[in-house]
Amino acid sequence: MSISLKGIGRRFNRDWIFRGVDYVFTSGESYAILGPNGSGKSTLLQILNASLTPSEGSIDFTFSNQPLEVEKVFNHISLAAPYLELIEEFTLAEMIDFHFKFKAYLPGLDCNKVIDLLALPTSKHKLIKYFSSGMKQRLKLALAFCADTALLMLDEPTSNLDSQGVAWYLNLVQQFAKNRLLIICSNQEHEYNFCQHQLLITDYK
């Protein structure tokens, strides 16, 4: 999968968040979108996942070397972000089963293996609303990493994670990010220091 940006800009009212972004993202590569809080990283990520349209410029998606319609981009994306909500009335098993009605598991995975990956076997039937913030973030990451999608997007992936959780996240990257297009929005070096490419949002102000 690839994403090509040509002269992309986005504004809020009369103020430009960024302008003139020319960039190509390609499968098998990892990218970090960097900048201080409020600089527009998440806005650019939303343009890249086709949930937000640019104010100027064009964006082209390809999959298996064929043009991909904007309306179908979501089929190929997994996203984990602090602002994404889990269904708190579901149990852990119900949440996983629900998620994978819309996305296929990576080969060899199923609900029980995702629970094992989370190291939460005793929480299988526990309601999500009783999870700690760290447990919820780990679940969001596991759902994204374990889905069989070409594009993996992570916004502030270690938000609410302690040092053990950060190590767990880095292990997920090693296990499940290979041969995918990985895009990470961050201002924490430990979240992206393995990325092959960096895009500084402040270069497009």
DSSP 179: T
Assess contact for 96 and 111: CB atoms under 8 A.
yes
Domains in the chain: boundaries: 2-204
Assess contact for 152 and 91: CB atoms under 8 A.
no
Give the Cα-Cα-Cα angle 103, 6, 149 (nearest 5 degrees). Answer: 10
How confident is the model over 145-164, as pLDDT tens digits?
A: 999 999 999 999 999 999 99
pLDDT score, position 1? 94
How confident is the model over 5-41, as pLDDT tens digits?
A: 999 999 999 999 999 999 999 999 999 999 999 899 9
How confident is the model over 54-113, as pLDDT tens digits?
A: 999 999 999 998 999 999 999 999 999 988 999 999 999 999 999 999 999 999 999 999
Between CA 13 and CA 31 the distance in angstroms is 29
**pTM (2 d.p.):** 0.95
pLDDT score, position 140? 98
Query: What's the whole-number mean pLDDT along residues 171-176?
Result: 97
pLDDT score, position 24? 97
Assess contact for 146 and 109: CB atoms under 8 A.
yes
Domain 2-204: homologous superfamily in CATH: P-loop containing nucleotide triphosphate hydrolases (3.40.50.300)
pLDDT score, position 94? 98
pLDDT score, position 108? 96
Please give the backbone phi and psi of residue 94, each rounded to the nearest 5 degrees, phi first. -65, -40
* Strand partners for 47: none
Between CA 148 and CA 122 the distance in angstroms is 26
